Homo-oligomer: A and B are copies of this chain.
Amino acid sequence: MISALKEVLAYISPFDDAELDRIAALFHSLQCRRNEQILREGETCTAFYFVQKGSIRTYFIDKKGNERTRYIMLDNWIGTALTSFISQQPSLECIEAMEDSELLFISHKDFFELNEQLSNWKRFYQRILEMAYAFQNKKIESLVTLSAKERYQQVLEENPALIQRVSNKVLASYLDINPETLSRLKSR
């Protein structure tokens, strides 16, 4: 299972085999049940995750008490509640397992020690930030410029696994459309 993690790491930064062994040894296992809270609002995020199997999501709760899904991670995806992970301040975002999941994680301490010690890890972190920024930027553009139908079609084209694996309720909150509209779009 560690080989999938190494593959993803090496895709993002040109680590050599010794570096990959060293990094993989810093990752720990975490098993989660479906709907288990991995990070609660107000807790500080101290781990960066790799999804070996299953799926997790980050979301925040709006003033009306509705969940708003920001980021979804399926098998072989990496990520975390990045704002809190960087700032080490209490998180506005929660992390939750959407299915029974097997995760690997590296601690904040080990992550940023690697960032001091390993130039390829600096590059890895730089790429993570660049990708996260591009993702957020695209999300803002989608929210502001696309209709509900267009946002659905964009995900259908670019990331159909989300449509297949994620519950309607969560997917609707991810696309910022109401569940009834999503059901109608899916049935077409």
Contact = CB atoms under 8 A, between A and B. Distances in A.
A154 interface: no
Copies of this chain in its oligomeric complex: 2
Given A129-B126, A130-B86, A133-B136, A63 B144 contact: no
Nearest to A141: B60
Contacts of A144: 62, 68, 143, 176
A140 interface: yes
Interface string A119-134: 0001001100110111
Contacts of A145: 60, 62-63, 68
Contacts of A136: 133, 136-137, 139-140
Q: Which size class do A's interface residues fall under?
A: 20 to 34
Contacts of A140: 70, 136, 139-140, 143
6 contacts: A68-B145, A82-B137, A122-B122, A129-B129, A129-B133, A139-B140
Interface of A: 60, 62-63, 68, 70, 82-83, 86-87, 92, 122, 125-126, 129-130, 132-134, 136-137, 139-141, 143-146, 176
Given A122-B122, A125-B126, A136-B137, 8 more contacts: A62-B144, A62-B145, A83-B134, A83-B137, A86-B133, A126-B129, A136-B136, A143-B143
